[in-house]
Amino acid sequence: MTLSATELDRLDPLAAVRGDFFVVDPDLIYLDGNSLGRLPRSVPATLADAVTRQWGEGLVRSWAEWFDLPQRLGTKLAPIIGAEPDTTLVCDSTTQNLYRLAWAVLARNPHRNRIVTDDQNFPSDLYVLRAVAAQFGGSLTIVASNGVEGPVAGIQDALGDDVGLLSLSLVAYQSGYLYDGKSMSALARSVGALVLWDLSHAAGAVEISLRDWGADMAVGCGYKYLNGGPGAPAFLYVRADLSDELSSPIPGWFGHEDAFAFRREYRPVAGVGRFLVGTPPVLSSLAMEAGLDILNQVGVPAVREKSMLQTRLFLELWQDRLVQHGLSLASPTDPDRRGAHITLAHADALAISQALIHRKKVIPDFRPPNGLRLGLSPLYTSFADIEEAVVRVESVMREGSYEPYRGERPRIT
Ligand SMILES: *Cc1c(COP(=O)(O)O)cnc(C)c1O
């Protein structure tokens, strides 16, 4: 091992950022920030003001502050995903945003009605992409991977002149495999298809340059590494010179060029704003701003640098202490090809995760069929947390304290 966890913490330029988040129990090791990020400290005061002053006192007059929240938060998100100004909205859920964008692509050119994705993509994405392709008389091609690495060559083979859309998760939710966004975007372009990235497990964790990649569209979650809170709106991105060629399958009044003119005819606003539908969730939008501010202050390159040290430390400790207990690596070994979470495979992964939660104060999650998923969210996870988490996993394995949890299947894992 190159440096100890203690040394790494001492040298960590982001160590103080943990103080921007609520950490109620310092002994609890939270390794699920890729599923629900921690609460930024300033959010309770922001929400109290939003409720009592803006809503309670301001009443409908406060819409002056609220009306353009999707655009305003989109502007704050833009640097985090390498997008140019006015191309990004914070709105709705990832699944809804994916549907509207995928539909818009096939509607624009119904002759190209096949969509290509891979088997590491999130199930909700697969459902949506399959349904959209079917609506246009086409089909969804799901390219098979080995479960760890993205099937780049297979995707190349699957593309053809009937393909309108390539849609992939930049970071796979199970393995953490990280695609090369630039080369895959170029690959889609070379066959005349558009590319739609799902950045849910990537935004706020890895460097993303949508503009430089020439990426066409993207969607992603607000509540994972962006720390937007439960029910935070998601986001969507459309390349600046593409949005006016696209139309939304839900022509709602928030996407109208003049919503408060109340015209009977729908006229979409110029630009990405046409993908808005209806009234935004104001309180959860306001709760999301603090997480974006923290990330912008720190900058994604610094986050990624820390993240790569963290996953490397974790894998060194895994090698020393966990391999011998039958926990195998289900994430890429190449640091340039993985995001900020690591998945270990074990036939009893669900029971192990339950034992960690209930007996060891470690919170990972479980993803079928056999994945113990450990999110190392760099903004508030210390190197010491990572070392201690491995020690606790090792003790669960040595004691066999997961055995009583075999056969349990909690509703949320
Ligand atoms: C978490 C996640 C989602 C969640 O979608 P919602 O509609 O916001 O619930 C979608 N896609 C991917 C790739 C995810 O990781």
Q: What are 338-381's pLDDT values in tens digits? A: 999 999 999 999 999 999 999 999 999 999 999 999 999 999 99
Structural contact between residues 219 and 91, judged by C-beta atoms closer than 8 angstroms: no
Give the mean pLDDT of 169-197.
98
Give the mean pLDDT of 25-29.
97
Residue keyed to tokens 């170029």: 186
Give the mean pLDDT of 378-405.
98
The CB density around residue 212, as the number of other CB atoms within 10 Å, is: 11
Q: How much distance in Å is there from the Cα of 346 to the middle of ligand 1? A: 24
Residue 162: predicted pLDDT: 98
- Integer CA distances (angstroms), 168 to 164, 165, 177, 202, 323, in order: 14, 10, 11, 12, 31
Active site residue 406: no
Whose CA is closest to atom 5 on ligand 1? 94
Residue 387: predicted pLDDT: 98
CA gap 222, 351 in Å, rounded: 29
Active site residue 224: yes
Structural contact between residues 390 and 345, judged by C-beta atoms closer than 8 angstroms: no
Residue keyed to tokens 């074990």: 346
Structural contact between residues 273 and 255, judged by C-beta atoms closer than 8 angstroms: yes
Q: Is 122 in the pocket of ligand 1 (CB under 6 A)?
A: yes
Q: Is 92 in the pocket of ligand 1 (CB under 6 A)?
A: no
Structural contact between residues 318 and 390, judged by C-beta atoms closer than 8 angstroms: yes
Residue 408: predicted pLDDT: 82
Q: pLDDT band for 2, please (50, 70, 90 cuts).
A: confident
Q: Is 221 in the pocket of ligand 1 (CB under 6 A)?
A: yes
Interacting residues of 355 by C-beta distance below 8 A, sequence separation 6+: 396, 401, 402, 404, 405
Q: Which of 35, 94, 101 to mutate to test the pocket of ligand 1 (most atoms within 8 A of CB)?
A: 94
Q: pLDDT band for 400, please (50, 70, 90 cuts).
A: very high
Burial zone of 21 (CB within 10 Å; 0-12 exposed, 13-18 middle, 19+ buried): buried
Q: Computed over its alpha carbons, how large is the radius of gyration of the chain? A: 22
Residue 208: predicted pLDDT: 98
Residue 137: both structure tokens together:
């008389």
Structural contact between residues 175 and 147, judged by C-beta atoms closer than 8 angstroms: yes
**Closest ligand 1 atom, residue 96 Cα:** 7
CA gap 5, 1 in Å, rounded: 10
Whose CA is closest to atom 13 on ligand 1? 122
* 43 DSSP β-pair partners: none
CA gap 8, 317 in Å, rounded: 14
Determine phi and psi for 234, rounding to 5 degrees.
-90, -165
Q: Is 169 in the pocket of ligand 1 (CB under 6 A)?
A: yes
CA gap 389, 371 in Å, rounded: 16
Q: How much distance in Å is there from the Cα of 56 to the middle of ligand 1? A: 33
Report angle CA 281, 82, 334 to the nearest 5 degrees. 110
Residue keyed to tokens 């080995």: 146
Residue 1: predicted pLDDT: 54
Q: Tell me the pairing of strands 163-169 and 114-118.
A: parallel
Q: How much distance in Å is there from the Cα of 224 to the middle of ligand 1? A: 9
Give the mean pLDDT of 221-248.
98
b (16+ CB within 10 A) / e for 340-379: bbbbbbbebbbbbbbbbbebbebbbbbbeebbbbbbbbbb
Quick check: bond before 369 cis, omega within 30? Answer: yes
CA gap 36, 410 in Å, rounded: 18
**pLDDT tens-place string over residues 271-300:** 999 999 999 999 999 999 999 999 999 999
Active site residue 119: no
**pLDDT tens-place string over residues 124-156:** 999 999 999 999 999 999 999 999 999 999 999
Q: Is 367 in the pocket of ligand 1 (CB under 6 A)?
A: no
Q: Which of 200, 217, 223 to mutate to test the pocket of ligand 1 (most atoms within 8 A of CB)?
A: 200
Of 21, 136, 177, 223, catalytic: 223
Q: Which of 35, 36, 95 to mutate to test the pocket of ligand 1 (most atoms within 8 A of CB)?
A: 95
* 220 DSSP β-pair partners: 235
**pLDDT tens-place string over residues 40-67:** 999 999 999 999 999 999 999 999 999 9
Active site residue 189: no
Residue 412: predicted pLDDT: 87
CA gap 400, 393 in Å, rounded: 10
Q: Is 88 in the pocket of ligand 1 (CB under 6 A)?
A: no
The CB density around residue 72, as the number of other CB atoms within 10 Å, is: 16
Residue 349: predicted pLDDT: 98
Whose CA is closest to atom 6 on ligand 1? 94
SS (H, E, C) 128-163: HHHHHHHHCCCEEEEECCCCCCCCHHHHHHHCCCCE
Q: Is the pTM of this model over 0.75?
A: yes
Burial zone of 241 (CB within 10 Å; 0-12 exposed, 13-18 middle, 19+ buried): exposed
Q: Is 34 in the pocket of ligand 1 (CB under 6 A)?
A: no
**Closest ligand 1 atom, residue 121 Cα:** 13
pLDDT at residue 319 greater than cutoff 70: yes
Side by side, the strands of the sheet bearing 217-220 are 88-90, 235-238, 217-220, 194-198, 163-169, 114-118, 139-143
Q: Which of 98, 122, 277 to mutate to test the pocket of ligand 1 (most atoms within 8 A of CB)?
A: 122
Active site residue 122: yes
Chain mean pLDDT for the chain:
97
Q: How much distance in Å is there from the Cα of 345 to the middle of ligand 1? A: 22
Determine phi and psi for 33, rounding to 5 degrees.
-70, -10
Whose CA is closest to atom 1 on ligand 1? 200
* 383 DSSP β-pair partners: none
Q: Is 125 in the pocket of ligand 1 (CB under 6 A)?
A: yes
